[in-house]
Structure 1
């Protein structure tokens, strides 16, 4: 499952130092290696490591920079070295809190521009970071990550409206918990995990708008790939998109999916086998990554403005706060009403009945005996055969 070649690479700090020592920008390094500037920045911060041919090309370039630096070591000025070290530290401080954004245009990592990058190109040296307010930092994170997260979520769900809604809800939650998200080492991963969790909720199938499938992509190949993705189990689909689509490493993928590293590796293997079974052209991971990038980039999915997201999140918070206050007031009112109409004194319940002794037994005629019954029958027979009864007659 390991895809990292054996080509040795310097440490991330040493990579930045070699580049700064040669007065090169990340954009120039990216052009020579054949990647984006955001990818180079991710390599220099240590968040990701290059793989395959990109790793070999990057290693050769670093070795060339190291040899060039060795050749100029005899004539290098101590003050220039100190300035380069100072610039490296300033760049590291600028790169550390900046959020790494996933996928550019859809599956390659992207991040906000570095403040020190413009200073390097201008040659004026590192400048101090301008302190940002919470809203400005949130808007910067949203502007650089929201469009790509919407496309990624669309690959996960196959529904455009749900993808926009999931990302919007995730950023609203991030704004509500901004003190926590702002200090997170990777705020984009935080938002992406929240968006994926909301998008994969099973309760969406009960919504009337989600009973009918969404319109498929226009291209036939894109439709086939989307159908294959949607046929995978949700856990396998999410793991495959994070590893082969977004480009996360295996430990990062396992951490974001809350699974162990062997479990994440098995999910990736099974998902690749399922995709290759129906689409043999995508059996190679590089081809699968390219097709996922093209499929995500083919959909023109725009996210709403950051101010609208912040406003909607604040409005939602106010609504639930007022609802909680209203429910609390209702409970307090019912309690006061109950205390008002409740009885003010205690009325003891009647004691249970107790048996009374000394009462004489009930008296009266008892049951007829055999002798009484025989006498009764004899009397009836005699009366029926005797003289008629005398009835009084009025004179």
Structure 2
């Protein structure tokens, strides 16, 4: 009876979280359809080097992460998140036709960077909106659900790419046009499916997100999360290298997107359950498991060119994503002041963005100079650093932390 009462009292996931999850699903379906084919399109069809590809992917992801610091602070100042979601998702949607129209690598680079600017504009406000509406007791589950739906789109996009590549005889440009419709469906869902919570009216003054006085308001626990996230990102380079590794196994071009299908399927199936666990267990333990999985995935991917082995490594890579991405977001939300959550996500992503640029550039250079195994083995070595930091960081997560956070916010 008591158990049933506790179950009944557990909050339900808000409608806004579900809506944001489906927005992510549609946009990721669009983006990952393109991303699953882009490395092959650039390296094989357009003659780009792997070093240049690594720099592009690093710059693209770093751009998204760095822009988040300004959009997060701006959303705190405005007290509204939806307008920035529309701007960010809208910019990404309008870049989709540029990929099939591209006549040179430069146009693809421009489209990729603009797409990531859109991701940067929307990322921190979206995460802050989830934190705004999520009850503290189920915050990990809310972030995990949104991440799972996001990853369903990331799974469906490459799967659709396989079907379309087979249907259109490997004609990549035709296939890329199919990314346009779901991107605009995401915009419609934001317009008609998302309502922001009412905020207390207060005087807002805009301040630089990097102002030292604002940064002093963050706790040591928050800065530990930033340090772990940054070093973790340094150990984890772009998934474009997984696609190139699969190409080395001799897979036909039409089946190359299966790499992203496998990764995203495992990621999608694991993110939500891990999010639920993070509401009950020490988040450091689950994050450490994810870091260990990253190291294992790197070793597997670097050790063989067998298709089965490489796809196994890709699956483990997807599992490490499920164990880390939602938890890191929940840890940022938990350790940051409620009034500065957007800024907190922005600062976190700035640090991760700088490390992502370095990680992908170094990975591409290692690939060209020393081969694919060196790239993956180096990633495994670097993953040890954030793994050690997890053991040294202050305790985070669990039922006690959720209750304490709820009291602090009341």
What TM bracket, shorter-length normalisation? Answer: under 0.3
**How does the TM-score come out when normalised to structure 1?**
0.24
The structure with the greater share of residues assigned to helix is 2
Q: Which structure has the larger Rg over C-alpha atoms?
A: 1
**How does the TM-score come out when normalised to structure 2?**
0.23
Question: Per chain length, whose mean CA-contact separation is higher, i.e. which structure has more relative contact order (CA < 8 Å, sep 6+)?
Answer: 2
